[in-house]
Homo-oligomer: A and B are copies of this chain.
Amino acid sequence: MTTRERPTLEAVARRAGVSRATVSRVVNGSTTVAATIREAVTRAVDELGYVPNQAARSLVTQRTDSIALILPETANRVFSDDLFFPAIIRGVGTELEAADKQLVLMMTGSEAGHHRVERYAVAGHVDGVMFASIHGADPLPGALARRGIPVVCSGRPMNAGTPVPYVDVDHAGGVAAAVRHLIATGRQRIATIAGPQDMVAGIERLAGYTGTLREAGRPEIVVAGDFTRESGIEGMRALLAREPSLDAVFVASDLMAHGALLALREAGRRVPDDVAVIGFDDFEISRYSDPPLTTVRQPIAEMGRTLARQMLRLVGGGTELPEPVVLPTELIVRDSA
């Protein structure tokens, strides 16, 4: 390994026969530099392989041009075959790349991880922090915001304290469409496997189910899951044990819906003949499951893009907070209902 000394601005300046200030101007794209000098500097930069020292630069500019995206989950959850995070990341990445900002991903499954992220951001490693999802009344977004660090969230924060801009989707609306579809196709006993009630997505999807059924004067049959396939399997078994006569189930995530399909097969029920199933997310699995899942599509990449745009406005010196954004959802009908 060639532990070559990194050249400094000074070295480039000497080589090009100009002052450090001029080199700095060229490197930062100032237009007020004579063409010949600019060229000489550029050549010196190339020859030396000069790259500005980020620490020195940040020290004076107070910027790093990189932005953190926090995945408040363990690696297993982040990368399950649930493609929520990838889609968010893709959307965020697209916008940030266009703005020439570096995206830094951080996973914080643990309490300790939370603290490290806070220090990381406060220490000035990044110019702003985006949350890819929010659990319960997570205090971190508010804490960072109070520290003066630009913060935006994907998913409405349940925490009322410090206002933080966010982007979310119309969970309840999508669920209502799903449940109405079930009612319209003649289903009588419509159950649900709900998501975790410490997340807005879990709460609002359940609310959508409850509200729509209540409106239609139908009974509610609810069990709770945690968005994992395993919990979908268990949830379906529990539902079947409690209400053997059910003929439809709205499952709050595709992964859980896939689990439900597995449990239904195990119990000898045909889908959709005996039991209709509708999921939520429109992940890949919903197209490859047997049968393919009717589900609710949410524009996740668009969420990511919106999130990034809000952040860019914030770090771009915008003084007022961006307004929250709620994106529409859409029922995708396949074979399971």
Q: Which residues of A contact B (CB under 8 A)?
A: 1-4, 6, 49, 51-59, 64, 66, 74-76, 78-81, 83, 85-87, 89-90, 93, 97, 102-107, 112-113, 116, 119-120, 122-125, 145-148, 150, 162, 229, 262, 284-285, 288, 290, 321
Complex CA–CA separation, A169 to B280 (angstroms): 38
Complex CA–CA separation, A57 to B54 (angstroms): 12
Complex CA–CA separation, A253 to B270 (angstroms): 31
Residue of B nearest to A69 (CB): B105
Q: Which of B49, B79, B124 is the one whose CB lies under 8 Å from A54?
A: B124
A147 touching B106 in the complex, CB below 8 Å, given contacts A51-B122, A81-B81: no
Chain B's nearest CB lies how many Å from the CB of A271? 14
Complex CA–CA separation, A230 to B80 (angstroms): 18
- 30 examples of A-B residue contacts, CB within 8 angstroms: A1-B150, A2-B147, A4-B146, A6-B148, A51-B123, A52-B123, A53-B124, A54-B55, A54-B123, A54-B124, A55-B55, A55-B56, A55-B57, A55-B58, A59-B59, A66-B120, A66-B125, A75-B87, A75-B90, A76-B83, A76-B86, A78-B86, A79-B79, A79-B83, A80-B83, A89-B107, A102-B106, A102-B116, A102-B125, A229-B288
Residue of B nearest to A92 (CB): B75
CB pair B75 A93 closer than 8 Å: yes
Complex CA–CA separation, A208 to B96 (angstroms): 42
> Number of copies of this chain in the oligomer?
2
CB pair B102 A105 closer than 8 Å: no
> What are the residues of chain B within 8 A of A59 when measuring CB–CB?
53, 55-56, 59
> What are the residues of chain B within 8 A of A150 when measuring CB–CB?
1
> What are the residues of chain B within 8 A of A102 when measuring CB–CB?
106, 116, 120, 125
Residue of B nearest to A53 (CB): B124
Query: Which of A79, A113, A162: most chain B Cβ within 10 A?
Result: A79
CB pair B2 A148 closer than 8 Å: yes
Complex CA–CA separation, A162 to B1 (angstroms): 8
Chain B's nearest CB lies how many Å from the CB of A94? 10
CB pair B105 A106 closer than 8 Å: yes
> What are the residues of chain B within 8 A of A122 when measuring CB–CB?
6, 51
Chain B's nearest CB lies how many Å from the CB of A320? 10
> What are the residues of chain B within 8 A of A147 when measuring CB–CB?
2, 4, 6, 49
CB pair A284 B81 closer than 8 Å: yes
> What are the residues of chain B within 8 A of A113 when measuring CB–CB?
97
Q: Knowing that A6-B122, A6-B124 are A-B contacts, what are 18 other residue pairs whose CB atoms are under 8 Å apart, sorted by A's residue number? A: A3-B148, A4-B148, A49-B147, A51-B122, A52-B123, A53-B124, A55-B64, A55-B124, A64-B125, A75-B86, A75-B87, A75-B93, A79-B79, A79-B83, A89-B107, A105-B105, A105-B107, A262-B288
